[in-house]
Structure 1
């Protein structure tokens, strides 16, 4: 099975195909195709394809120089634990190689996955959230 991993600049990602991948993962039911297209158009994104079907996606939000934050790493269920996610994140990190600090937050069970790409757990930093309207 051949998996192609490329940046959105090398191979554009269609909002409909990303929406389908999100839905298969049980993510972002409330997001519209227009909102997803905005996400694709802003920042750095990479995709993974198998037989022409988008099976993985990751993106970064960045100031373009000093800081970047990795978001929305999603892999189709059938391709999880195949190494595709690690390669996807690695490709995104290559795209961000000029950035000084790259951060992310994840669930505890995903820490070993991100450690494969050089991320280190921090006991000195805390995640703060604020949602619109609260």
Structure 2
């Protein structure tokens, strides 16, 4: 298995990325949305196996004080093999000089991020336009 982690978004198939989002139930990510959010992200981790994309993660940062990590996703066929950990380690390495790195975990994955050194925050706040997400993530 030829597993590679890189950040060259221009050489990847948006169709494969859409399939990965769909494979974990994130069905609102169209090709256009995927292109927009990855072009707006300034730190990207893309995982390929034998040239096929199987996972990714992305972050946005001001380059000094703050960053936020989003969309750490691995296709179900490749989960439980340490790939998400590699994605996170890649992103955190690229953000190693940033004072504060935020991440909102999907429900049930909090322990995974704790093992990587992230901790709950006391003053976290958010607004969700989607009522289902608001009821899941907000107090």
**TM-score, normalising length: structure 1:** 0.84
> Relative CO higher for 1 or 2, CA cutoff 8 Å, sep ≥ 6?
1
- CA shift at 1:108, angstroms? 4.8
CA contact (8 A) 2:54 2:78 kept: yes
- Give me the whole-angstrom Cα distance separating, in 1, the residues matched to 2:112 and 2:13: 27
CA contact (8 A) 1:70 1:103 kept: yes
Equivalent pairs counted in the alignment come to 131
- What are the equivalent positions in structure 2 for 1:11-50 lying under 5 Å apart? 12-27=11-26, 29-43=27-41, 44-50=43-49
Counterpart secondary structure, 2:108: helix
Greater per-residue helix proportion: 2
- Give me the whole-angstrom Cα distance separating, in 2, the residues matched to 1:105 and 1:131: 16
Structure 1: which 4+ aligned runs deviate by more than 4 Å? none
Counterpart secondary structure, 1:109: coil
- Cα RMSD of the aligned pairs, angstroms, is 2.3
- Give me the whole-angstrom Cα distance separating, in 1, the residues matched to 2:12 and 2:40: 12
CA contact (8 A) 1:58 1:88 kept: yes
Aligned CA distance change for structure 1 residues 64 and 12 (closer, same or farther; 3 Å): farther
**TM-score, normalising length: structure 2:** 0.81
For 1:109, the equivalent position in structure 2 comes to 108
